[in-house]
């Protein structure tokens, strides 16, 4: 193996192979690892020693030490440090430009963010030092004289710091150079043992934060592709408020966990002791027969003695929740962090995000598009399916309270300043016309047709909203724009003041469908025009879920561009922003002028080709992760990302480049990640229910109407809904006697048996 993780056993420094890319990314992507990297980059150098350590250059000796290996791995790890200020980006570009010649397999930003670690294919005819000198010369960087030791290890950083990773890094193999004199069978045996088995590690994947059972197999063990560690973590999240067992409750909670998991562990004690963490002490030894390890073992043994009753209801809930989480992972991020932004951003996005800290940049990069696109008018873009779209963006920023959602306001304010100034005389003219033509006046002067007000306040009537739509259309097919601090503020853009009305407007706006009203009264506002409405809104996660609770599966949420703010530190202080001044406005001005000057149908072959590629990739990803929600949401996410690319294409003077393409790819995945995070589980559930409804037809018995697992209360409610009287106890007993259902005492639910479900599915 090329990749090894460092750990300590009995005070000795050891290492074991990392067998898969999934395990490698999981080690880098844990909450603990990400927060530690953040602490290091804030200046806490002591925290650096809590980072995961990796070795890419050798295998351990027979005595478990890390030096004097007689055989070498196929790769070399290299540290590039002491890079001159301002040269970091240039060095990265040089490495990536020569990746094929170098044989690059991995490139990451170093722990302090001031250099790089890279891994390349070893040239077997060269020594360790010669390999490093060769690579240094190729990359035009200084040779690190202190890095000649073949056993050098690196402090690994977060998954988001990966700049390049090849799956070939995880291929089995070794370099067979001439064997030095004195090599013996024992050293060869040591090499073979390291390649064939996984040693204990201080942070086994059975519980990545430091708890775990025997790690001999758990580091790569999984059920239907889902690591047991993820299953257990989700179990505690759903059934113990995210807390692991502690002294006082660990006996009963471990017992319940074991009862829940035994059906997917083959009812095997050995397997369960590899999977179930020992909450008595962090490094259990299953071979011991006493003390805390014995209590852990006995608890699992007692769980196995319980009568077998099929897959428990709790386990089904966990697996369903993880399926939705798989959709989150499908977007390229992890369960706790979104896909990382490209290092090289399009110039306009780099400008608009330069004044905010790194963890706010994704939110700002997404939030600026409704305002940017408000400068386009009379412009259409042709998608790969030959359908013309306009630049509609409705951005909802979801984040917890006081996390800094207001950071998007300053860049939007500067983007919209020219439109705001243009609106001022139009508002004055409208006010003057109203003053001269009060409601009581019978013969009114015609309202000036060249009045166009694009920026809306968040307290309107239907008549005013309709007037703004018509005016914007009649004066160059322009966009109206709204920004509200809280999502509920959108309910005030019309007289109805309902979430249903907002949902209808969102669906119409995305498609630029006709909107407006027809009235017969002389004083009434009448007019119908395509709805061109862009907006920015913010919400906390609970408020967002509540607001869109009835709009997740009707196409409303899929039409939104959703962003979020994820902070990996515990610092709740207000962010320190850069200066927005005249110089910033002047730098922004040329981009806005290009957008204002655009007209007609605009096509970009590179953007169309990219959109087609992403469509195919999304289809394959949805199949791979078995996520219907991902598939459904990806269609419009692709359109939204492509439209962003087209806006940048125009703003950049009709020039397409790799930075725009990379941004478009990231933007789609980021939007999908946020949607899956906040709405994925609900959408997956509703889509499953749709399938069930379609599957069911004709007369049904009461059991068929109930879910696969149900409580006695659900049973009584279903009986009542079907007009049946009595408590139905005899019916339940009859179903149980016929083998249709069993009662799960752990969850307190009735479960349909596999025999019954098979019979029912064949019938259908």
At 141-162, the pLDDT tens digits run 887 766 655 567 889 998 888 9
At 515-559, the pLDDT tens digits run 876 654 545 566 789 999 999 999 999 999 999 999 999 999 999
Average pLDDT value over all residues in the chain: 83
Question: Domain spans of the chain?
Answer: 4-196, 215-311, 328-566+580-681, 702-763
Q: Write the CB contacts of 683 (distance below 8 Å, at least 6 apart in sequence).
A: 552, 553, 557, 629, 632, 633
Q: Write the CB contacts of 328 (distance below 8 Å, at least 6 apart in sequence).
A: 334, 335, 673, 676, 677, 680
Task: Give the DSSP H or E segment for 742.
Answer: strand 741-744
CA 623 → CA 77, 568, 617, 627, 628, distances in Å?
Answer: 36, 31, 10, 7, 8
Indicate the pLDDT class of residue 429, thresholds 50, 70 and 90.
Answer: very high
Q: In CATH, what number does 328-566+580-681 get?
A: 3.40.50
CA distance 301 to 258: 9
Q: What is the dihedral sign for C-alpha 658, 663, 668, 670?
A: positive
Indicate the pLDDT class of residue 764, thresholds 50, 70 and 90.
Answer: very low
Indicate the pLDDT class of residue 62, thresholds 50, 70 and 90.
Answer: very low
pTM above threshold 0.75: no
At 209-233, the pLDDT tens digits run 333 333 333 334 888 767 888 899 8
Ordered strands of the 480-483 beta sheet:
480-483, 533-539, 394-398, 561-564
Indicate the pLDDT class of residue 59, thresholds 50, 70 and 90.
Answer: low
Indicate the pLDDT class of residue 695, thresholds 50, 70 and 90.
Answer: low
At 582-628, the pLDDT tens digits run 999 999 999 999 999 999 999 999 999 999 999 999 988 888 777 88
At 321-344, the pLDDT tens digits run 777 677 787 888 777 789 999 989
Structure tokens given for 616: 């195919």
Structure tokens given for 552: 């997740």
Name 119's bridge partners.
77, 106
pLDDT for 127 beyond 90: no
Indicate the pLDDT class of residue 292, thresholds 50, 70 and 90.
Answer: low
CA distance 461 to 495: 5
Q: Are 710 and 361 in contact (CB under 8 A)?
A: no
Residue 483, classed as helix, strand or coil, is strand
């Amino acid at each position: 193996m090329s990749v090894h993780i460092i750990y300590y056993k009995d005070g000795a420094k050891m290492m074991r192979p990392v067998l898969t890319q999934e395990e490698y990314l999981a080690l880098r992507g844990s909450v603990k690892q990400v927060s530690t990297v953040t602490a290091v980059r804030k200046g806490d150098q002591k925290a650096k020693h809590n980072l995961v350590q990796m070795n890419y250059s050798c295998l351990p000796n027979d005595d478990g030490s890390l030096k004097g290996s007689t055989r070498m791995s196929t790769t070399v790890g290299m540290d590039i440090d002491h890079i001159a200020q301002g040269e970091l980006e240039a060095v990265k570009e040089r490495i990536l430009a020569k990746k094929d010649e170098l044989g690059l397999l991995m490139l990451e930003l170093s722990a302090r963010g001031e250099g790089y670690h890279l891994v390349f294919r070893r040239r077997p005819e060269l020594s360790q030092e010669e390999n490093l000198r060769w690579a240094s010369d190729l990359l035009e960087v200084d040779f690190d004289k202190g890095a000649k030791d073949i056993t050098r290890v690196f402090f690994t950083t977060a998954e988001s710091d990966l700049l390049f990773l090849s799956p070939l890094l995880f291929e089995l193999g070794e370099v067979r150079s001439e064997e030095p004199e004195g090599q013996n069978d024992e050293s060869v045996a040591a090499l073979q043992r390291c390649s064939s088995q996984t040693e204990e590690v201080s942070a086994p994947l059975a519980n990545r934060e430091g708890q775990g059972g025997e790690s001999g197999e758990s580091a790569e063990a999984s059920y239907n592709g889902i690591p047991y560690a993820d299953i257990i973590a989700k179990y505690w999240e759903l059934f113990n408020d995210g807390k692991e067992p502690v002294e006082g409750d660990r006996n009963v909670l471990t017992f319940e966990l074991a009862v829940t998991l035994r059906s997917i562990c083959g009812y095997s004690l050995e397997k369960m002791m590899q999977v179930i963490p020992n909450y008595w002490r962090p490094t259990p030894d299953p071979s011991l027969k006493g003390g805390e390890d014995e209590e852990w073992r006995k608890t699992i043994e007692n769980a196995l003695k319980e009568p077998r009753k099929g897959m428990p209801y709790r386990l089904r809930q966990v697996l369903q929740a993880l399926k939705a989480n798989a959709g989150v992972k499908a977007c390229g991020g992890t369960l706790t962090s979104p896909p990382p932004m490209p290092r090289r951003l399009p110039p306009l996005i780099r400008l608009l995000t330069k004044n905010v800290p790194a963890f706010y940049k994704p939110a700002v990069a997404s939030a600026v598009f409704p305002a940017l696109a408000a400068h386009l008018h009379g412009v259409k873009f042709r998608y790969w399916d030959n359908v013309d779209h306009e630049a509609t963006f409705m951005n909802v920023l979801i984040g917890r309270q006081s996390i800094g959602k207001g950071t998007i306001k300053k860049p939007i304010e500067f983007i919209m300043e020219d439109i705001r100034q243009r609106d001022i005389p139009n508002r004055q003219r409208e006010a003057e016309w109203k003053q001269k033509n009060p409601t009581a006046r019978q013969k009114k002067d015609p309202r000036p047709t060249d009045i166009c007000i694009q920026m809306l306040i968040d307290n309107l009537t239907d008549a005013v909203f309709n007037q703004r739509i018509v005016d914007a259309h009649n004066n160059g097919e322009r966009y109206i724009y709204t920004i509200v601090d809280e999502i509920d503020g959108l309910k005030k853009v019309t007289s109805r003041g309902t979430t249903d009305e907002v949902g209808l407007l969102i669906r119409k706006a995305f498609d630029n469908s006709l909107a407006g009203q027809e009235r017969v009264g002389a004083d009434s506002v009448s007019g119908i025009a395509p709805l061109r409405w862009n907006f920015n809104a913010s919400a906390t996660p609970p408020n967002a879920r509540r607001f869109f609770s009835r709009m997740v599966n009707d196409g409303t949420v899929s039409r939104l561009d959703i962003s979020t703010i994820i902070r990996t530190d515990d610092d709740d202080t207000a962010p320190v922003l850069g200066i927005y001044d005249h110089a910033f406005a002047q730098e922004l001005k040329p981009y806005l002028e290009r957008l204002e000057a655009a007209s007609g149908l605009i096509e970009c072959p590179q953007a169309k080709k990219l959109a087609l590629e992403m469509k195919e990739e999304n289809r394959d990803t949805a199949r791979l992760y078995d996520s219907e929600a991902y598939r459904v949401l990806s269609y419009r996410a692709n359109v939204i990302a492509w439209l962003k690319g087209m806006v940048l294409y125009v703003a950049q003077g009709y020039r397409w480049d790799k930075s725009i393409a990379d941004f478009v790819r990231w933007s789609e995945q980021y939007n999908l990640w946020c949607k899956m995070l906040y709405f994925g589980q609900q959408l997956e559930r509703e889509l499953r229910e749709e399938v069930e409804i379609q599957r069911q037809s004709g007369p049904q018995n009461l059991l068929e109407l109930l879910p696969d697992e149900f409580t006695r209360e659900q049973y009584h409610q279903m009986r009542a809904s079907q007009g049946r009287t009595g408590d139905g106890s005899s019916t339940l007993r009859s179903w149980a006697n016929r083998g249709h259902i069993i009662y799960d005492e752990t969850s307190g639910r009735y479960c349909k048996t596999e025999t019954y479900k098979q019979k029912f599915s064949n019938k259908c």
